[in-house]
Amino acid sequence: MTETSLNIAEDDPVLGTDFAVEMVRQMRALDAYGTLDNHSAAQVLDPFILTKEQKREVPIIGDPDEIVVSRVKSFYNAIAALIESECGLMAVPTINLTHEGFGRALITVGRLVVMDKTLRDVHRFSFPTLSKMKDEADKILSVALEIVGEYPKAAGL
């Protein structure tokens, strides 16, 4: 991965948001072999971004490898961490994947399911831009907080 091929600019302002900071933290947390140690934030998050052209090159059918799965986990772990810091209650992510890349992602707060997503084609998991990725996370976050607000007792408030 050379600098020039990055889909995220090193000075992208989105890299300074809570979401991106948490994403980088989660990616480093799952990076058992330290392969990301010398990577900048833009480099760490770059694999999440595939342009339309790049995505077209990924085969439609494929098994997700460990690296892609850890990306999916980082994404939902980061969202869970943001939910937690917003509402002050523990948010637990659960990712359930078959070998074929289908599955379910759940985030629970207390007795409450605050996110429930069906996962498909996980080997193609990506976003067109960093800002679209943040939008998706923000959407999930705000729905989750709404659900906690609606059922505060079940969430443990």
> What is the rounded CA–CA span in Å between residue 65 and residue 123?
7
Question: Minimum CB separation from its own copies for residue 73, in Å?
Answer: 11
Query: Does the protein bind its own copies through residue 94 (CB under 8 A)?
Result: yes
Q: Which of 43, 154, 156, 157 binds its own copies (CB under 8 A)?
A: 154
Residues 6+ apart with CB under 8 A from 74: 23, 26, 27, 29, 30
Q: Which of 116, 117, 120, 139 binds its own copies (CB under 8 A)?
A: 116
Question: Minimum CB separation from its own copies for residue 102, in Å?
Answer: 13
Query: Does the protein bind its own copies through residue 69 (CB under 8 A)?
Result: no
Give the binding-site size for its own copies (rule: CB under 8 A): 17
Question: Minimum CB separation from its own copies for residue 52, in Å?
Answer: 33
SS3 content of the chain, % helix, strand, coil (to 5): 55, 15, 30
What does R_g of the chain's alpha carbons equal in angstroms? 16
Segment contacting its own copies by CB under 8 A, of 4-12, 19-27, 60-68, 111-119: 111-119
Query: Does the protein bind its own copies through residue 141 (CB under 8 A)?
Result: no
> What is the rounded CA–CA span in Å between residue 63 and residue 68?
10
**Residue 137 contacts residue 79 (beta carbons within 8 Å):** yes
H-run or E-run covering 104: strand 103-109
Residues 6+ apart with CB under 8 A from 4: none
Q: Which of 54, 96, 98, 142 binds its own copies (CB under 8 A)?
A: 96
Q: Which of 52, 56, 99, 153 binds its own copies (CB under 8 A)?
A: 153
Residues that bind its own copies (CB under 8 A): 94-96, 104, 106, 108, 110-114, 116, 147, 150-151, 153-154
